[in-house]
Amino acid sequence: MKRIQILKAGLKLFVTQGLHSVTIAQIAAEAKVGIGTVYRYFNSKEDIVQQIWVQQKSEESSYVFQDYAPLGTIREQFDFLWERVIRYFLEHPLEYQFSYQFAASPILTKEIHELAMKDFLQFDELYEKGLKKNLFKPLTARRLRLFTFSTINGWILWALDEKMVLDDTTITMFLQMSWDSISVA
């Protein structure tokens, strides 16, 4: 419980103030917890960041894959999953910003990334199936997934930045754009 409080507090502060200007004492205060307690659960500020990342990716994937069954056409599955990703981030702007800001941070090792990403590998199965049916441009499943993700990722960034209203029509168009970019003409 306290551990989660600390993670949430850290996430909020890191996103709004930037890693370097957040002190452990601030995190403790925001989490309504003693400073010592922070050290009971974490070794350092970097450790907190790493654990937020893992926790975060885990929450994301639960949301995305909840009730997911790979039925229907590839396109339907594609839309189902990516729409979930989009909605998750739009509903959790703080978490999104954290995700964006730290994705390329040197604090997160390759090991942490792999650990955190393992739940997202289901995406690759989808792309594999699409490739077999010659729906996609000739890249590996992994690369197609990364491509779609980075597209969506950047798009959400400015959608939040410009406080765009994201109704169903907009999201549908966006999924169409993502699809068009990887599918064969």
Using CB under 8 A as the binding rule, whether residue 44 contacts its own copies is answered as no
Using CB under 7 A as the binding rule, whether residue 16 contacts DNA is answered as no
**Binding region for DNA (CB under 7 A) out of 22-30, 51-59, 142-150, 166-174:** 22-30
With beta carbons less than 8 A apart as the criterion, state whether 84 and 120 touch: no
Question: Strand, coil or helix: what is 174?
Answer: helix
Containing H/E element for 79? helix 74-91
Give the interface size with its own copies as a residue count (CB under 8 A).
36
Using CB under 8 A as the binding rule, whether residue 149 contacts its own copies is answered as yes
**Binding region for its own copies (CB under 8 A) out of 1-9, 71-79, 119-127, 142-150:** 142-150
Using CB under 8 A as the binding rule, whether residue 19 contacts its own copies is answered as yes
Crossing angle between the packed helical segments 2-17 and 45-65, to the nearest 10 degrees? 100
Nearest to 84 by CA among 33, 6, 156, 28: 156
Distance in Å, CB of 109 to DNA, minimum: 18
Residues in the chain: 185
Contacts with 178 (C-beta within 8 Å, 6 or more apart), sequence order: 82, 148, 151, 152
Look up residue 161 and give its two tokens.
């930045």
The item of DNA, its own copies, none sharing an interface with residue 155, based on CB under 5 to 8 Å by kind, is its own copies
With beta carbons less than 8 A apart as the criterion, state whether 36 and 99 touch: no
Residue 10 or 130 having the CB closest to DNA: 10
Using CB under 7 A as the binding rule, whether residue 40 contacts DNA is answered as yes
Provide the 10 A C-beta neighbour count for residue 131.
17
Using CB under 8 A as the binding rule, whether residue 15 contacts its own copies is answered as yes
Using CB under 8 A as the binding rule, whether residue 154 contacts its own copies is answered as yes
Using CB under 8 A as the binding rule, whether residue 97 contacts its own copies is answered as yes
Binding site for its own copies (CB under 8 A): 15-20, 45, 97, 100-101, 103-107, 137, 143, 146-147, 149-151, 153-155, 157-158, 162, 173, 177-178, 180-183, 185
